[in-house]
Amino acid sequence: MKKAQAGLTLLEVMIALAIMAMMMALAWTTIRNTQEARTSVESFEERNHELRSAMARVVADFETAYLSRNEDMTQAHPRTMMIVKPEEPIPSVRFSTLSHRVLWADAKESEQTVIEYLPFVDKDNSNKINWVRREQRRESNQPPELEASEYDVLVTDITMVKIELFNWKTLEWVDNWNTTQADGQRGMLPYRVRITITVKGPDGKDVKLTSQARILMQEALNFSPT
């Protein structure tokens, strides 16, 4: 009798290679899907963190907004004000607030500052608009563009911002406010400010975040003797 031949036939080798190739393809597909899901979740989390951090900063700015009667109201550029004008896609916002952060005990700074929220075209992509926070180093009667300021990007690639202000005298929400004009809201601030931020999510769909700030001082400060 002939001795049985050891090893694998060519057909068995081909079948084993085909099975191995199929298993490797399945493993690669699983790894790729897992990586894509992880990247997508990280993108959503980063965008969500950016929006919530920006909203917290804006709410904190508005909550400590204030006006003062202890200044020359005839100046073209008063030191304390709130001016909100509805514009698309980002409204024009400028107001005085006590939200300046003093970082050093001997900095010789106060909490008083003027905040402005502006749209800026992204320097790396002209199709994107960033929402920027501008903080003056001090209050003055000079035009804003003449005062030294610090700029921080609140939200990148923003779609729209909506600012609504609650008038506690008329009990209605409005989209404009101006304390520098006699026919506006001179000497008073809104009771609440509602902020809505809209951006495109990583999936291309609109993502909205809305919050409200309760202004603690609606009436102007007045330290002059009566």
Residue 96 has pLDDT above 70, yes or no: yes
Phi-psi region of 108 (alpha: psi -120 to 50; beta: other; left: phi over 0): left
pLDDT at 138: 74
Look at 214 and 15; give whichever has higher pLDDT: 214
Looking at residue 225, what is its pLDDT? 54
**pLDDT tens digits for range 42-95:** 888 888 999 999 999 999 999 999 998 887 767 778 889 999 999 989 999 999
Q: Name residue 96's beta-bridge partners.
A: 114
pLDDT of 1: 53
**C-alpha distances in Å from residue 55, one per residue of 31, 48, 52, 59, 128:** 36, 11, 5, 6, 20
pLDDT number for residue 15: 85
Residues of the chain above pLDDT 70, percent = 91
For residue 208, the model assigns a pLDDT of 92
pLDDT average, residue stretch 151-178: 94
Radius of gyration of the chain (CA): 29
222 band by pLDDT with thresholds 50, 70 and 90: confident
CB 118 within 8 Å of CB 202: no
- Strand 149-155 to 92-97 pairing: unpaired
For residue 155, the model assigns a pLDDT of 94
pLDDT tens digits for range 138-157: 777 777 777 878 899 999 99
Q: Of residues 135 and 37, which shows the higher confidence score?
A: 135
C-alpha span between 222 and 54 (Å, rounded) = 32
pLDDT score for 210: 95
State both tokens at 136.
């003056």
CA–CA gap between residue 149 and residue 123 (Å, rounded):
19
- pLDDT winner (highest mean) among 39-48, 111-120, 134-143: 111-120
Residue identified by tokens 């550029």 is 77
pLDDT over threshold 90, residue 36: no
Query: How confident is the model at residue 224, as a pLDDT?
Result: 61
Q: Exposure pattern of 32-41 as b/e (b: 16+ CB <10 Å)?
A: eeeeeeeeee
Those residues whose C-beta lies under 8 Å from the C-beta of residue 212, and which sit 6 or more positions away, are 59, 192, 193, 194, 195
